[in-house]
A and B are shown apart, each in its own frame.
Chain A
Amino acid sequence: MMGQPPQQVFLVPLLLGTDGSMKMSKSLGNYIGIDEPPNEMYGEVMSISDALMMDYFELLTDVPDEELEEFRRELAAESVNPMLLKKRLAREIVTQFHSAGAAREAEAEFERVVQKGEAPEEVLEVAISFEEFWLEASPRAVSEAISGEDMEEAIVVRGRDLRTGKVDLTVSIPFFLHKIGLVESKSEAKRLIAQGAVEVDGRRVTTETASNENIHDGTMIKVGKRRFRKIVNADKKT
């Protein structure tokens, strides 16, 4: 205001979002919140492109400039695996907003789940009643057939595993994933299946097998690199 000493304006650069093309913003969905739990934060940093990595190092860590220069030289000469540097970045960031211990644990979890493809320590369980699922699906299949949609997709067959004697379901995976809320739409599921990104009990689901997969109590479903769900049959006696 009038009569005050002049003020200086200090401007910092905008950080690009995880997509690497637009500024990080909540409305664009390409952001990493500083309140996110360590595992998510670590995994999301690991998902950024190699090209974006040095920007993040510069703007979000205290790693000295000389060291960053060395990283750039090594990357240009391809004498270092970019993944190793990105893990360092993810550790630095998680340490800052959580702790060094949390960063180590998040890294171990990342190595186990993403790099070795194993199931994470804690898998979210989805409890569904197989009985209700089957009962509910049948009229849907009929109505979809009447409305001219692809009825095949909604057919659920209830059966019994001859070896264990437990009830199981034979389902179309796009329908099933959509039903349990693991994907936004059936077409998203189909796209992921075509990319080879969906596994049921450790077997990759293909476009050919997708309409006819077996789900039983304890089935492990994996979508993409980090989304795991364990299916639990909520019916008491099967």
Chain B
Amino acid sequence: MSKGELSFLLKRGVAEIIVEQDLVRLLETGRPLRLKQGFDPSCTDIHLGHAVGLRKLRQFQELGHQVILIVGDWTAQIGDPSGESQTRPMLSAEEVRANAESYMRQFFKVVDRERTRVVWQSEWFGKFDLGAVIRLTSRFTVAQMLAREDFAKGTPPAALLPLPSFSTLCSRPMIRWLSRPMWSLAAPTRSSTAWWVGSCSR
């Protein structure tokens, strides 16, 4: 890869790379990399704001790298189980699939379908059993949970919450933690949108 290509890929339309030197080193090995991009199928439309990131994925693909599109179908079906958020409605499996199809039709207007692997989050989370849940909760303490904003400013106080509401609120950071390695930040942060680049293990 030429200096010009590298600079176009890593400088133009890029907010931040963590860690840039490491990514440069990975690119220099010449191995195909895997770029993981997730999306939340509670929405269906792609606009130019999303296209900024998708164009970047496309540029990586043109250099021989692979995109993994992670459909957040499992979390979309759970929605916001407390029922408080209107922006995260609980969707049926059919709705989620229809949304995802519509999203992907637009996604592949920019990203190369041939160099993309689509994976469904439910393939992984759907198999989560009680044992796995208990192993997961062992990573957190009650104090950590209560320190979260959800509880800190919540009414009623945490001790008076019905147990399902309590566990629902607790599940959020756990899902986020679990998803860390495979799930890109589908929701944009204030200043930028992100995805993960991993090296191909094959």
Contact = CB atoms under 8 A, between A and B. Distances in A.
Contacts of A93: 48
Interface stretch (B39-47, B112-120, B160-168): B39-47
B89 to A, nearest CB: 14
Given A34-B110, A60-B52, A13 B191 contact: yes
Interface string B79-97: 0000000010000000000
Given A7-B196, A10-B14, A12-B13, A60 B55 contact: yes
A8 B195 CA distance: 8
A34 B13 contact: no
B23 interface: yes
A23 interface: yes
Interface string B12-34: 11111111001100100000000
Given A1-B181, A33-B46, A8 B52 contact: no
B61 to A, nearest CB: 14
Interface residues of B, number: 45
Interface in B49-104: 49-53, 55-56, 87
A10 B17 contact: yes
B188 interface: yes
A12 B194 CA distance: 6
Contacts of A12: 13-15, 52-53, 56, 192-194
B122 interface: no
A31 interface: yes
B198 interface: yes
Q: In the complex, which of the residues B43, B47, B48, B52 has the most CB atoms of chain A within 10 Å of its own CB atom? A: B48
Contacts of B180: 1
Q: In the complex, which of the residues A10, A59, A60 has the most CB atoms of chain B within 10 Å of its own CB atom? A: A10
Contacts of B15: 11-14
6 contacts: A9-B197, A11-B193, A33-B45, A58-B12, A59-B52, A60-B52
